[in-house]
Amino acid sequence: MNPPVIAVLAGGTSAEREVSLGSGTACAAALARSFPTRLFDVTANALPPGLDRSRHVVFSTLHGTFGEDGGMQRLLEAAGVAYAGCGVEASALTMDKTRTKEAAAGRGVRVPKGLAFRGDAKPGVEAVVAQLGEHLVVKPNAEGSSVGLSLVAGRDALGSVLARINAGTWLIEQRIVGRELSVGVLGERAMGVVEIRPKSGVYDYASKYTKGASEYFAPAPLEPATTAAAQRAAEAAYAACGCRDYARVDFMLAATGELYLLEINTLPGMKETSLLPMSARCVGLDFTALVREMVTPAVQRFQAAAASAAR
């Protein structure tokens, strides 16, 4: 049986298009060392022209809406195209931060207290403060890369942030002050724990994508018991949301030692210096080996389907 061509999808139409193009270019170069590979620049919310279910296995690096929320996955399944990563339901669930927290909490993973709301039905400032306090995080309920993130301290600041919101679905959470951690999961096993230390004190879009704006420690300098707890929590959250193949799970470690789930990224940034590759290097996987491992289950699903069709 001839090996499939790995179709790397990059770009997309979300606010994270430029980040996705960087991920796609890096992954295509690495995958080409192990498989025939073709890079597709996705410019519409549709399957890219030239995608062939009899030849291609998709490795998507589309971040944000449509790419990560189950939209592209739904089109791929309807067209019978094999693809790596989470399926439609898990993709849609994990893109929704509120539903992710609910699912993870059901498996015993600690989550920050929060309140979801629509931009056209905003809660009152006093009601929010009474429920969650004055130190808060306000963010879109279904965006990645910290797009739209605001840290709030006090009633006036909260009122100003809410006044700027008029559409979409949003989330207000208690702010957990502590150390930010990220754990890659490959298959069903957690890899290394990475610590992020933004020099600004806030891991927002600028801190993520401005060179030198954050420091990274891989592995994170933690007590072994804390590392193990973060890995167990990552695996539990991943399983609770029905993830497959790979994902990245982010936490805050409070000064009290308690871990709080922030979110699950099913199609995280994938440059060699991104968090998931850092996590993989902690367990001895370089970037080329990592992307090969990430796509292999999809290649196996493709081959099993082809063998079944040939019988």
The residue annotated as part of the active site, out of 11, 12, 16, 192, is 16
The residue annotated as part of the active site, out of 17, 179, 248, 281, is 248
The residue annotated as part of the active site, out of 60, 265, 274, 279, is 265
Q: How far is it, in rounded angstroms, from Cα 227 to Cα 219?
A: 9
Q: Is the dihedral of CA 294, 295, 296, 302 positive or negative?
A: positive
Q: How far is it, in rounded angstroms, from Cα 98 to Cα 116?
A: 7
The residue annotated as part of the active site, out of 53, 110, 178, 209, is 209
Catalytic annotation present for 182: no
The residue annotated as part of the active site, out of 11, 14, 269, 279, is 269
Catalytic annotation present for 248: yes
- For 49-161, where are the E strands, in sequence order? 56-60, 82-83, 114-118, 135-140, 150-153
The residue annotated as part of the active site, out of 182, 203, 250, 292, is 250
Catalytic annotation present for 60: no
The residue annotated as part of the active site, out of 14, 23, 141, 145, is 145
The residue annotated as part of the active site, out of 20, 263, 279, 281, is 263
Query: What is the dihedral angle through the alpha carbons of 158, 161, 165, 169, rounded to the nearest 10 degrees?
Result: -60
Residue 255, both tokens: 């000064």
Helix 224-240 vs helix 97-105: crossing angle, to nearest 10: 110
Catalytic annotation present for 209: yes
Q: How far is it, in rounded angstroms, from Cα 248 to Cα 276?
A: 6
List the catalytic residues. 16, 145, 209, 248, 250, 263, 265, 269
